A and B are shown apart, each in its own frame.
Chain A
Amino acid sequence: MTTYRTCPRSGLQFESQAEKLILANAVAGVVFLLLGGVLAIGVVLTRWPAVHWLAADTFYLVLTAHGLDMLIFWIIFFEIAVLYFCSSTLLRCRIATPRIAWLGFALMLIGSVTTNVAVFRGGSSVMMTSYVPMMAEPAFYLGLILFAVGALIGCFVFFGTLVVAKAEKTYQGSVSLVTFGAITAAIIAVFTIVSGAIILIPTFLMSVGIVKAVDPLMYRTIWWAFGHSSQQINVAAHISIWYAIAAICFGAKPMSERVSRGAFLLYILFLQLASAHHLLADPGLSTEWKVVNTSYFMYFAVLASMIHGLTIPGAIEVAQRKKGFTKGLFEWLRKAPWGNPVFSGMFISLIGFGFLGGISGVMMGTEQLNMIIHNTIYVPGHFHATVVIGTTLSFMALTYFLIPVLFKREMINPGLAKLQPYLFGLSMYFFVLVMMGAGTLGVPRRHWDLAMGGSPLAYEFPGAAYLMMGLVGIAGLMAITGGAIYIYITVGSLLWGKKLDVGAISQTTVPIPLVPSTLALEGHGSAGFAAPGTFALASVFLVAFVLYYFINWKYLSQVWGLA
């Protein structure tokens, strides 16, 4: 029989099997973050033209490993931990089939190690995207397939746990908004992983000689249904975490459940279409296909993100105003706990994701504008804003909450933890901006040498491009330092942090209590204007968005005619 522990610091209840699984997945994720971070040093110090550190073959190897370890292994391990947390912990129930969940974990671990070994042996420097007909070792694909199967098992354990909670009546009514967001992430994950299997299995068979050829365009189309959609899991997951942190730090309730859940529903319906973003400059696909898919069917998923971008700070504002921070437009924000890394990390993540990641993403996802951006270093600029500032920084912020709650340890060096989101987040802001700047000057991504090896036809990149790439190097090193501090604090607290009170342990779960009806009737009402400060911030965002959008069109209108 399993046991349930009630954390005395947060009131959350952890089932013992689920707790171990969350811990194992989160720790595995952090190990891959460490590996990916070390590899990042090689990437930035080579792309910094004045340093140009690694040899070409090593650079491409390191870049391949960096992409896989960060984008796939770190994030998905952590996401599985988040899924178990959002089901078992938030719904206060036992986790479904813990043994199968461990099997999933084992497959993910074996898969990620296999792929890494294949890459480090040197024969698989094909980048994360591994476009055919460029081939990696069979072990490269096999590892990814095993990892994907493991992650798929994790998703189904999550769904099973939802069924357990419902059947054993550990909650009444609907699941929490954060769990709802996690369901969104898991649904997208199933679509993502199945797409990955559809294309990676034939590619694996091709690498061992059973299948003769995989069509390069077919590969790109289906691979991106895996590659881009996996980033959409991240969006759904880290937005759920933002809602969770708003609830944890402020007791914030959603402004309206209907709007926030509706926005998640739009994600389920339309977010995956975005894999078309990567195919806008490709031959062979019709204009109609490109326009409908790249706009997530008329921008309905962008609409959803813009809604979350308002309702999360809006919920915080409403909660703060209730506490009496009502002066002017922004007292609620000024008086927010900026010294608490759980909050500061989340808020830096939200602003950076919206302003830098969101706006640049829509630019690249506009069919025609894509032509002046495709495969330049603007693209990694964009996705470091979404995946690093958005996802990774949110996961870091959540970790600071989990150290006392889940690890049951006192955080070592809280002073350093206070600084970490600022150092990491703000240097990533700068990193992303200079990368995008270099991209508009034509600097290509995944490129070893800006001087083009002295080739007789080489393009002489402008001095500004060299300057920007130098700044990318400096900002990158600062961000890596911020990442190292996160790992030091997390691993250090886990190993040497003072042990905290475990809390009461019981044999049965204590269901989530029913809310008294007086509280239940509390709504914001339609006549109010409950979050004027957030509305002002959102308006600034919109103005920036509109201006930058039309600047890009103006720029496009000046290039060569294409038809």
Chain B
Amino acid sequence: MSAILPPSERLWWKQPLDRVEGTWILIAFIWCMIMFAMMVGWHIYGKQNLSTETYKTTPEMYTAKAQTVVDKYTVRKETDKQIPVVHPPAGSDVYLIARLWDWWPILELEKDKTYRLHLTSMDYNHGFSLQPVNINIQVVPGYEHVVKVTPNQAGTFSIVCNEYCGIGHANMAGRIYVK
């Protein structure tokens, strides 16, 4: 009987499997296990894993920390808005502020050096989207996310906001230089 009628065999769970089904289930199961192993294995052997280091924070606390680093390591200012360009030492803590509607400050990093990049939002959710690398991280207000980044190419990189944050969302841009 068809799929819209009750099974004709009362004991339908005893009906034997066709070989097509049995073979496919086995193949699909193995593929699922490979995919699962891949995700776990990349945490052990891969170089791109998102850190989970997170702290609760407030806009005041975070701004104070970011300001200290900006005051210490600003090398020049750019654009009409006089946005500081911060060149922190390799391995240090770097702070990026997401707010309506910009990324502040501009960062200048060195190629193949690792930094502890701190991310949070002052207001709504924002999306850290590094272009053209295409690394995307959610930025949630109240949570300070520490991501270890190691730029592997030199150049000028842009930060686009890819989480809707109101009317100025499309204009929200930031910059990272890698030397």
Residues of A near any B CB (own CB < 8 A)? 56-57, 60, 90, 127, 131, 133-134, 171-178, 215-217, 220, 243-244, 246-248, 251-261, 279-287, 291, 294-295, 298-300, 302-303, 306-307, 310-311, 314-315, 362, 366-368, 371-376, 440-442, 444-449, 452-453, 455-462, 512, 515, 519-532, 534-535, 538, 542, 545-546, 549, 553, 556-563
CB distance from B17 to the nearest CB of A (A): 5
Which residues of B from 101 to 147 have beta carbons under 8 Å from A?
A: 102-103, 106, 114, 119, 123-125, 127, 129-138, 140-145, 147
Contact assessment for A526 and B29 in the assembled complex, using a CB-CB cutoff below 8 Å: no
Contact (Cβ within 8 A) B22 A371: no
The answer to whether A257 touches B48, judged by C-beta atoms less than 8 angstroms apart, is: no
Complex contact B6–A172 (CB within 8 A):
yes
Q: Which chain B residue lies CB-closest to A259? A: B21
- CB-CB under 8 A from A314, the residues of chain B are 18, 20-21
A257 in contact with B13 given A366-B35, A368-B39, A446-B164 (CB within 8 Å)? yes
Among B127, B135, B159, B171, the residue within 8 A (CB) of A453 is: B171
Chain B interfacial residues counted at CB < 8 A:
97
The interface-forming segment of B50-58, B60-68, B69-77, B89-97 is B50-58
Q: A258-B13, A452-B171, A560-B152 are known contacts. Are A176 and B7 too (CB-CB below 8 A)? A: yes
Is B79 touching A176 in the complex (CB atoms < 8 A)? Answer: no
Extra A-B contacts (15), CB below 8 Å, given A259-B21, A457-B158: A174-B6, A178-B4, A252-B2, A255-B21, A285-B52, A298-B33, A371-B48, A442-B132, A444-B129, A447-B162, A449-B171, A519-B8, A524-B16, A560-B133, A563-B148
Contact: A371 with B28, CB < 8 Å? Answer: no
Instruction: From the candidates A461, A558, A562, name the one contacting B51 in the complex (CB within 8 A).
Output: A562
Closest to A377 in B: B162
Cross-chain contact of B4 among A176, A258, A282 (Cβ < 8 A)? A176
- On whether A563 and B51 interact (CB within 8 A), knowing A520-B8, A542-B27, the answer reads yes
Q: Which residues of A contact B165 (CB under 8 A)?
A: 134
Question: Given A176-B3, A315-B3, A456-B80, do A530 and B162 touch, yes or no (CB 8 Å)?
Answer: no
A332 to B154, CA, bound (A): 57
Is B170 a contact partner of A257 (Cβ separation < 8 A)? no
Closest chain-A Cβ to B22's Cβ sits at a distance in Å of 7
Name which of A172, A216, A461 has the most chain B CB atoms within 10 A of its CB: A216
Cβ-defined contact, A291 with B52, below 8 A: no
| A84 to B17 Cα, complex, angstroms | 31
In the complex, which of the residues A258, A259, A458, A515 contacts B173, with contact meaning CB atoms closer than 8 Å?
Answer: A458
**A561 contact set on B, CB distance < 8 A:** 47-48, 114, 148-150, 152
B52:A133 contact, CB within 8 angstroms: no
Sorted nearest first, the 7 A-B pairs with minimum C-beta distance are A459-B158, A561-B150, A283-B145, A444-B162, A299-B32, A247-B2, A453-B171
Chain B residue contacts of A175, Cβ below 8 A: 6
Identify B140's interface contact among A220, A247, A521, A526, CB under 8 A. Answer: A220
With A254-B3, A257-B12, A561-B48 known as contacts, the answer to whether A372 contacts B135 (CB < 8 A) is yes
* A452-B173, A526-B18, A532-B20 known; A303 vs B12 contact (CB < 8 Å): no
Residue among B40, B136, B172 facing the most chain A CB atoms (10 A cut-off): B136
A133–B123 touching, CB < 8 Å = yes
Secondary structure dominating the interface of B: mixed
Q: Are B136 and A375 in contact (CB under 8 A)?
A: yes
Evaluate contact between B20 and A531: CB separation under 8 angstroms: yes
Contacting residue for A255 out of B18, B27, B164, CB 8 A: B18
Q: Complex: how many Å from CA A449 to CA B171? A: 8
Question: For A131, what are the chain B residues with a Cβ–Cβ distance below 8 Å?
Answer: 124-125, 163
Asked whether, in the complex, the Cβ of A257 is within 8 Å of the Cβ of B164, the reply is no
Complex CA distance for A248 and B4, rounded to whole angstroms:
8
A133 & B141 in contact (Cβ 8 Å cutoff): yes
* Interface contact B137-A453, CB-CB below 8 Å: no
Given contacts A374-B138, A448-B170, contact A526 B36 (CB under 8 A): no
Query: Closest Cβ of chain A: how far from B115's Cβ, in Å?
Result: 10
CB of B86 within 8 Å of the partner chain: no
Most buried by B among A261, A299, A525, A553: A299
Residues of B within 8 A of A374 (CB): 127, 136-138, 162
Offer 21 A-B interface pairs, CB within 8 angstroms, sorted by A: A176-B4, A217-B143, A255-B18, A255-B20, A258-B17, A259-B25, A279-B138, A281-B50, A284-B140, A374-B162, A448-B170, A452-B171, A457-B79, A457-B158, A457-B174, A459-B131, A512-B6, A523-B16, A527-B19, A560-B150, A561-B114
